Amino acid sequence: MEKIPSRRLSTSQNTRPEAGLLYLVATPIGNLEDLSFHALEVLKGVDGIACEDTRHSRPLLDHYGIDRPLIALHEHNEDRISNGLVERLLAGENLALISDAGTPLINDPGFPLVRAARAMGIVIRPIPGPCALIAALSASGLPSHRFTFEGFPPRKSAARQTLFESLKEDPRTLLFYESSHRILETLVDVGKVFESDRRVVIARELTKRFETIVETTAGGAEACVLESQAMQRGEFVLLIEGSPPRRHDDALTAEQERILTILLKHQSVKSASAMTAEITGARRETLYREALKMRGETSD
């Protein structure tokens, strides 16, 4: 495994060889055994660990016998604390950043620190591991090749619906985090905005004892959660199927174009269009316009 050096060698003109390293370490989202060997080694070897809540992180570190100084870095102090951490890194210390759970900066604090560290030529090394949104996506059964993560939806219903409306036609799988306090209200708004048959996956308490991943629809999601008190507790990842491809009325399929092309070799535009419409079910007007284009003609 990688040993943490007291100094770093670098051939880049944009980095500082005398500075320490900043490690972004992913931590378990529920099951403590999900901490990687690499993460364990790094956390044991750094000079200090920045974390959201020292009270929350200490049990994890104690579980693995990690006795390193902790520095609180959260949304209320990160702008102020980050400068001091950068100074420590420039002085040669190696530091790690962890969040309460999952991968740092993914809907968690740390962006000001990373931005400031990069600006000063400090090398940043990600130590990958758990991430709730990726875990939920991988097990959801929804398309994963294109997706968008929107964090927590707005607290107010009107703002939530406005956000959902802006994403309604997005073809990518939509992912959100949500708390137990607002999951029902959010699902009500999902049902109001999205088509009732749009697939929805609700993932809660991932990697924990009562992990649940259920598939429902936008129209049935509220009832799915209402019917079980357990489904109203925990931490949630909400996934919504992307909008299906919208075909324009004038668009022809490849097969319709193929048949029209063949018939145009032997018949007039009018006859070829009519016969293709009869064979394929496509609109005759659309076929007629396409046939004129193929012949290099224009309609009156």
Which residues are paired to 97 by β-bridges? 24, 50
* pLDDT recorded at residue 245: 74
- Angle among Cα 148, 212, 75 to the nearest 5 degrees reads 50
For residue 88, CA distances in Å to 41, 124, 181 come to 21, 14, 39
- Whether the CA torsion 9, 11, 17, 22 is positive or negative: it is negative
Task: Tell me the H-state helices in 97-219.
Answer: 111-119, 132-140, 157-167, 183-193
133-240 belongs to CATH 3.20.20.70: no
* pLDDT recorded at residue 247: 56
Tens-digit pLDDT profile for the chain (300 aa)?
A: 445 544 444 445 567 888 999 999 999 999 999 999 999 999 999 999 999 999 999 999 999 999 999 999 999 999 999 999 999 999 999 999 999 999 999 999 999 999 999 999 999 999 999 999 999 999 999 999 999 999 999 999 999 999 999 999 899 999 999 999 999 999 999 999 999 999 999 999 999 999 999 999 999 999 999 999 999 999 999 999 999 876 555 678 888 999 999 999 999 999 999 999 999 888 888 899 899 988 886 554
What DSSP letter does each residue of 223-290 carry, written as one string?
HHHHT-SGGGSSEEEEEEPPPPP---TT---HHHHHHHHHHHTTS-HHHHHHHHHHHH---HHHHHHH
* pLDDT recorded at residue 6: 44
Helix (H, G, I), strand (E, B) or coil at 300: coil
Top CATH class of 22-130 equals alpha beta
